[in-house]
Structure 1
Amino acid sequence: MTTISPTGSNLDEASEFLAKYPEVEGIDIVMTDCHGIGRGKIIRRHELASLYTSGRAMPSSLFGQDVAGDDVDTSGQVLDGGGDKRCWPLPGTLGMMPHTKRGQVLVSMYDASGEAYPAEPRHALVRQIEKSVASGFTPMGAFELEFYLVDRKPDQTGRYQPAGYVMTGRRSLNRNTMAVDELDEMSPLFDAIYEGAAHLGLTLESLISEYAVGQYELTIRYRDLLRAADDVIIAKRLIRSCARRFGVEACFMAKPFGLEAGSGMHLHLSLADRAGNNLYADQADGSLSPLMLQSIAGIRNTVGDTMLVLAPFLNSWRRFASASYSPASDDWGVENRTVALRIPGTPGKTRHFEHRVAGVDANPYMVATVTLAGALRGIAEKLDPGPAVEGNSYAEQRANSLPKSWLEAIHRTEQSSFVKDVLGASLHQAFTAVKHAEYQRLALEVSQAEWDLYGFVV
């Protein structure tokens, strides 16, 4: 068994952390499953060094569980193995969470010989990045996170509601989109989030109140694509754990309230050369980069096969029931927020595009993987994205070949040779088997809405 960390982590990082934070007695070790959920342990201070020198055992069956943590036998991760593998810390992710008084570090799974465990989503992204770099492209990116803050307990009807402001207890009756005073009334919570981010190496930036009561958006600084995906895992856990300590809950469902805006996870992407120059920058004559247009074409060519990654749950598909800033399409355009693939209007060297389809409930590693893979296909095949959309793409309701339901998306991803190649056979089998199991689980559940609508009428 290897005793050299395959992630490149070093004991010095642990020693420096323990010296900097002598008060820390516990450290959360967090591995991300196919749902984007952190699985792991809380270890004690004296155990941190051994994590860096020997790794830590965790069951590989974690990648064959549904969102509730139940084993799915057909995933290939339970009956065909499921034994312990070694998890090793990811360099640069060890940090302090002041509100919990514990440390936190992300870990990744490897077998006894130090080979990446094939069903882990992060490894799929690493493979695509390596492929990109081998072609001379360094992927850069950042995610935007939309989410709701909700009351901890449901109301008298059994429904959850947007949270009151933590400073005043007052409840908003209006959307208050981009209202600065609304942010001020939530500022104790967001101050704690920003403080935690500083200790975690997380570059949280702009904060806005979004297009619904209780909905907010945080942006994260642009950086290399792998760390950008790590940032989402760290940020969601930070936001969720901070919110609890202020008596509210952070909700990362794609559509928690049927009549209100859904929550997206927009990915901003570009490719740099080995010297760090943006290859998506405008041409000398001011025209758009051919490489960027080919990338957009590749994503348009593959997005239908990847919709299960972008919208992985039943609730994810409710976000597309309303056209309010939720593009379930493959359209593209310049400074057009009704399209799926948007090129921001600011010209010049910082040019990039924004993939707007994924919900905030999606796994960021898998979203980044299929997006980058689509872009690389477009470049390799020199694909043409077609004409840009001008005006309201919702109103035109352009035809596309995207799946129209969760079940259709499950079948399409299951049958997709592109997704199987990009995710790898093990992750592809586990992911689609788990989604089939979740579909069956919910198909057997009779909702209250069905009782209300049909129970004593039909």
Structure 2
Amino acid sequence: MAAKKAHSRTTKATTNLPPKPSPAVARARGVDNWKEAAAWLRARGIEDIECITPDLAGVPRGKMMPTSKFTSNTSLALPSAIFRHTISGEYPEETEEFRYDSRDSDIKLMPDLSTLSVVPWETDPTAQVICDIVDTEGKPVSYTPRNVLKNVVSLYRERGWKPVVAPEIEFYLVAKNDDPDYPLRPPQGRSGRSIQGGQGYSIAGINEFDELIDDIYHFSAAQGLEIDTLIHEEGPAQLEINLRHGDPIELADQVFLFKRTIREAALGHGIYATFMAKPMQGQAGSAMHIHQSVVDAKTGKNVFSNPDGSPSKEFFHFIGGMQAFVPSTLVMMAPYVNSYRRLTPGMAAPVNNAWGYDNRTTAFRVPVSDAAARRVENRLPSSDANPYLALAASLACGLLGIQKGMEPTPPSDGTANEGSVDLPRGLLEGVSLMENEEALLEVFSREFVGMYAGVKRGEFETFMQVISPWEREYLLLNV
């Protein structure tokens, strides 16, 4: 009798427990449909939602609204001009290839519910969702960064393949600076002293910013973002975050959100995080290295390896394509005047289009691995690049090499970063190479190439209006 009563009490207590959330509602990141989205938002008491999309620079643009409006099938529109302005917010002059929409018509934000996540640094319960851009008829707008990358991935899909990438993002922590005329300087760490250079892989260097790094991890976990490793790089307060390998669009989304996350975490501690390619004179630049491989969509086997474990012809053609076409797409991986200050002889960044086995002086390094993990690391992109465009450019070059059966040069065994520079040395040269490469129009669209080139030329003209300290130092009294 006592046993039955005990069982009765247990059953009653169990039935009074709140129901377990569905797996979709419990996920930190992403849902499958609008019904799940409504439940996900309700379970977290979300009041506002940010509908964001990356512009050409990778800056989040979009609209913020109450949750009730988001879930009521509201049409979200933006002016097309936001994809035609420079990083400084100016609008370049029209050219034959660079044109504005004469009506500045609407383009529409289409939320990708697989990217739904919280905004953990906001005080009010807030969520965010990354959106694709379509026209008023629902067709993808070809020149927007996420669609550019999606198109490149679709070209792999047509061959029955899936590209796999793993980005590594370097950035600097710097003391707050409200006057752009003054050079940046490292922030104070927990020791009370400004951290200096030469801290590569130093655990003590990371520990200087323990509380900030804890916030980065907590913010990332809340958004469902996966950090693989975090290290201290060579520059003073220069850190690197490595992401786990996966689908290019998902990884570009993660880099897009990581940049925002790291900046917000740093601001919470009274310092800046910057992804400038070369923020400090005389110090190492910041890269976004991209590890790339290709797998068969059905079997999951690495296309870069033959059944016996040897490198495949596709592996070598991929490298051949990188060597042939990356100089013409470098402007998508090094998009600003400052980017080319990193790509300088004598510094750690490569200034060549050579490749080699485990050779960090080459642009394209093949890390030591087994056959299943055979991959090519592109060491040219800088951390200031729009991740969608940098990934699209890198993967497109490799695919063009496979399509055209391009053979690479022999691998470099020694130091490849000495002697002549094999890449564009400045922004305008990079733009010209991109415009004049017909093969790129097949993978990016003529509209994107013309628009991107027009914006980059506009940014160069804005830069030329600024007189630098070098000019005042050496020209003022000497010429």
TM over 0.5: yes
Match of 1:336, as an amino acid?
N
* 1:82 equivalenced with 2:93 (yes/no): no
- 1:178-206 alpha-carbon deviations (Å, 9 max, x no partner): 11122122121111111111122211120
Contact 2:32 / 2:113 at 8 angstroms: preserved in 1? Answer: yes
Contact 2:252 / 2:387 at 8 angstroms: preserved in 1? Answer: yes
* Alignment partners' CA distance in 2, 1:188 and 1:274: 42
TM-aligned CA deviation for residue 19 of structure 1 = 2.3
Equivalent residue, structure 1, for 2:159: 135
Contact 2:37 / 2:113 at 8 angstroms: preserved in 1? Answer: no
Alignment map for 1:307-322 (pairs within 5 Å): 307-322=330-345
Equivalent residue, structure 2, for 1:98: 120
Alignment map for 1:192-271 (pairs within 5 Å): 192-271=215-294
* 1:45 equivalenced with 2:67 (yes/no): yes
Q: How many corresponding residue pairs?
A: 446
3-state DSSP of counterpart to 2:200: coil
Equivalent residue, structure 1, for 2:392: 369
* Alignment partners' CA distance in 1, 2:196 and 2:271: 18
User: Please, which runs of 5 or more residues in structure 2 have no aligned partner?
Assistant: 1-30
Equivalent residue, structure 2, for 1:36: 58
Equivalent residue, structure 2, for 1:61: 81
- Specify the structure having the higher radius of gyration (Cα): 2
Match of 2:442, as an amino acid?
D
Equivalent residue, structure 1, for 2:140: 116
TM-aligned CA deviation for residue 276 of structure 1 = 4.7
3-state DSSP of counterpart to 1:349: helix
- 1:5-58 alpha-carbon deviations (Å, 9 max, x no partner): xxx973134213312321x332222111111111123222322213xx244111
- 1:72-126 alpha-carbon deviations (Å, 9 max, x no partner): 3427563534222210112321111222243221111111111001220211111
* 1:354 equivalenced with 2:386 (yes/no): no
Structure 1 runs of 4+ aligned residues shifted over 4 Å read: 154-157
* Alignment partners' CA distance in 2, 1:373 and 1:311: 16
Match of 1:94, as an amino acid?
L
TM-aligned CA deviation for residue 358 of structure 1 = 0.7
* Alignment partners' CA distance in 2, 1:232 and 1:283: 32
Alignment map for 1:267-306 (pairs within 5 Å): 267-280=290-303, 282-306=305-329
* Alignment partners' CA distance in 1, 2:347 and 2:120: 37
Contact 2:171 / 2:240 at 8 angstroms: preserved in 1? Answer: yes
State percent identity of aligned pairs.
29
Contact 1:96 / 1:103 at 8 angstroms: preserved in 2? Answer: yes
* Alignment partners' CA distance in 2, 1:310 and 1:118: 19
- 1:195-250 alpha-carbon deviations (Å, 9 max, x no partner): 11112221112000001101000011101111111111011111111111111111
TM-score by length of 1: 0.92
- What RMSD in Å do the two structures reach over aligned CA positions? 2.2
* Alignment partners' CA distance in 2, 1:391 and 1:45: 58
Equivalent residue, structure 1, for 2:15: none
Contact 1:270 / 1:278 at 8 angstroms: preserved in 2? Answer: no
* Alignment partners' CA distance in 2, 1:231 and 1:309: 18
Contact 1:86 / 1:110 at 8 angstroms: preserved in 2? Answer: yes
Contact 1:207 / 1:216 at 8 angstroms: preserved in 2? Answer: yes
Match 1:330 to one of 348, 353, 356: 353
User: Please, which runs of 5 or more residues in structure 1 have no aligned partner?
Assistant: 1-7
* Alignment partners' CA distance in 1, 2:157 and 2:142: 20
* Alignment partners' CA distance in 2, 1:146 and 1:348: 28
3-state DSSP of counterpart to 1:183: helix
Contact 1:280 / 1:352 at 8 angstroms: preserved in 2? Answer: no
